[in-house]
Amino acid sequence: MIRQLLKAKPYTKYCQFGSQYTARSYSNLVRLGDEVKKALANNLPVVSLESTIISHGMPYPQNVETALQVEDIIKTGGAIPATVGIINGEIVVGLSREEIELMGKEGAKVKKASRRDLSNILSQKILGATTVSTTMIASHLANIPVFVTGGIGGVHRGAETTFDISADLTELGRTPVGVVCSGVKSILDIPKTLEFLETQGVPVVTVSNTDNFPGFFVSDSGFKSPMNLPDTFDCAKLLDTQFKYQLNNGVVFAVPIPESHAANGHLIQSAIQQALEECERNGVKGKQVTPFLLEKINSITQGKSLESNISLVKNNAKVGTEIAVKLSELRSSGFHPQSSN
């Protein structure tokens, strides 16, 4: 089963974007929530969400409250939310309220599941929270082309000696899903991340009138995106074209945090530097680095970074829903990609 999951090719029986599907085609790989199953059966827009942001991204109860509020935003925008997690040896696409509550309460006890960890977590029936990479895999298998998150992982600072590069980036290079985010977390090396994405052939689009690449907590990281599209309809057309030509990689839609909620850039940068120094002193490594840094930054900024985090996720959900709805409208009008058999 895991071999099928990890080697699933786009436009096969497991995932055929823009075509009629049957739940039977992937029922042995993912479990769909009831609302998600109905929406997909009726070709309605669905937006997927990760669960690591619930378990590791925010403290309880804000994590659960935010997750449910984000789902409500997606519903209000005309789509069905599908929060993804791993429960009892199953990839669940469309967690119930009770399952979201479980993820939030268990917090850091929940196993963080990247592509590398997936087979172990599934086979051992460990409670797992999906990262960007595994949420992309699940979205692709479930025929969901748009996924909303806070920020993607990237190249860590000092990666030239540690080689610490997020699996999110390689996943974007091989899994065809549109990822709506606020760019790269500002604790990372943004220019190296953009270079890595270019090497992977991943389109990076700032959803704005400017080509400023957002830096998660701030609307302008100081670096440029290779392209910008201010209209979500144009974003939907780009994504549709990406799938039509079977380019077989993801797209990053980078949405700047609203200026009214953007954190003070200097305050955040100072907090990041302090948190990085503490991280090094404490010998924090690997997948524990990001949650450690985010917690420290939240403490240093006295909660302002958490407020910004919640705001940007909600805004991303609004934008991602618009893209998903307009993509669905494109396809229902007949302009959808042809799938291969």
Per DSSP, the residues of 210-224 read S-EEEETTEEEEEEE
Whether the CB-CB separation of 53 and 63 falls below 8 Å is answered with yes
Q: What is the pLDDT of residue 17?
A: 46
Tell me, yes or no, whether 127 lies in a domain: yes
Q: What is the pLDDT of residue 10?
A: 37
Tell me, yes or no, whether 72 lies in a domain: yes
Tell me, yes or no, whether 20 lies in a domain: no
Tell me, yes or no, whether 7 lies in a domain: no
List of residues 6+ apart from 120 with CB closer than 8 A: 126
Tell me, yes or no, whether 3 lies in a domain: no
Residues annotated as catalytic (active site), given as ranges? 50, 185
Q: What is the pLDDT of residue 5?
A: 39
Q: How far apart, in Å, are the Cα atoms of 87 and each of 58, 139, 183, 226?
A: 20, 16, 29, 39
- The band of 308, judged by pLDDT with boundaries at 50, 70 and 90, is confident
Tell me, yes or no, whether 299 lies in a domain: no
Read off the pLDDT of residues 87-107 as tens digits, 9 standing for 90 and up: 999 999 999 999 999 999 999
Mean pLDDT estimate for the chain: 88
**Percentage above 70 pLDDT, the chain:** 88
Tokens representing 20 are: 């009629």
Tell me, yes or no, whether 44 lies in a domain: yes
Provide the H-helix boundaries in the chain. Answer: 2-7, 34-41, 52-55, 62-76, 97-106, 118-123, 132-141, 159-162, 167-172, 190-199, 232-244, 265-281, 289-300, 304-332
How much is the pTM?
0.87
Q: Which residue has the higher pLDDT, 80 or 22?
A: 80
Q: Which residue has the higher pLDDT, 19 or 218?
A: 218
Per-residue pLDDT, averaged over 8-37, amounts to 58
Domains: count for the chain: 1
Least confident of 8-12, 41-45, 238-242: 8-12
Read off the pLDDT of residues 270-306 as tens digits, 9 standing for 90 and up: 888 888 888 889 888 777 787 788 788 888 888 888 8
pLDDT of residue 149 exceeding 60? yes
Q: How far apart, in Å, are the Cα atoms of 324 and each of 205, 213, 278, 305, 307?
A: 16, 22, 40, 28, 26
Q: What is the pLDDT of residue 335?
A: 57
Q: What is the pLDDT of residue 100?
A: 98
Q: What is the pLDDT of residue 20?
A: 37
Which CATH number is 207's domain given?
3.40.1790.10
What is the span of the domain harbouring residue 221?
Answer: 30-260+306-332
Tell me, yes or no, whether 283 lies in a domain: no
